[in-house]
Amino acid sequence: MYLWISKQQIWRKDSINNEDQTGDISSKNFELHYYHISNREKLQREFKELQVVAVDLSVTASRLNENRNRYSNIFPYDKNRVILDIDSDGSDYINASFINGYRKRKEYIATQGPKLDTAIDFWRMVIQHNVKVIAMVTQIKEGDIIKCHRYFPMGQMKYMKFGKITVMLTSETSDDLLERREFCVKHSGDGFTRNVVHYYFKKWPDHDCPADPEDLISFVKKIKSEKKSSHSPIVVHCRYTLYSNL
């Protein structure tokens, strides 16, 4: 069953001192223009307006997959969604999208924080695409609110099982900025093992961006150094699929 949704295309002109924002900005108005376009309420309003730009949503909007999405209004587009190999563990759907890098297509996979019932799909995706590095930028839990299902072993828990997939913790370190873990991921069906490095970046607040850009730069450098010459995509996720990938 497929549900297609077409949204009306709009065009919006927002000006400051009679200047079209898509055109040149005079030097005398640049500072005012900067503060105007950086206004949080304006950015939130513009993001909502993006929802009415013409977009076709098919599989992602299907009722068959609603329970696999963390939020009812955040979907991957069909043209770049990650399609899982169908096996006995589930369907081909995961709320995840391929993202092109600066020099390479499909260099990243942006996905939502796994739910209890989609953690197995997350690891299926990691295995299928031979992922070497995972970057997590959300807390597992804040107070009584679950931000992301804990889909990996840590501390005294040395392994977790997800259907035919076993994730074993082999290394664990932590500092003020990052938590780094190494996993050995095994699939009993194909007999292969994959070594995966997992980073948790502690300085990305929910609904916001890191306060210190140097922390983010350091984190990105760590991730890049782990990837090295690997041609497999880096998996990046926060709680929503959204903020960490803007």
**In terms of DSSP H, where are the helices of 72-203?**
119-128
Count of other CB atoms within 10 angstroms of residue 109 = 25
For residue 169, the Cα-to-chain-centroid distance in whole angstroms is: 22
Residue 59 neighbours by CB under 8 Å, 6+ apart: 2, 65, 78, 81, 93
238 catalytic? Reply is: yes
Residue type, 238: C
Residue type, 148: C
94 near 125, Cβ under 8 Å? yes
CA distances for 25 relative to 34, 45, 86, 178, 226, angstroms:
10, 22, 52, 40, 41
Cα–Cα distance, 43 to 50 (Å, whole number): 11
Question: Among 148, 184, 209, 238, which one carries the catalytic annotation?
Answer: 238
Burial (CB count <10 Å: 0-12, 13-18, 19+), residue 118: buried
Residue type, 114: P
Catalytically active residues, by annotation: 238
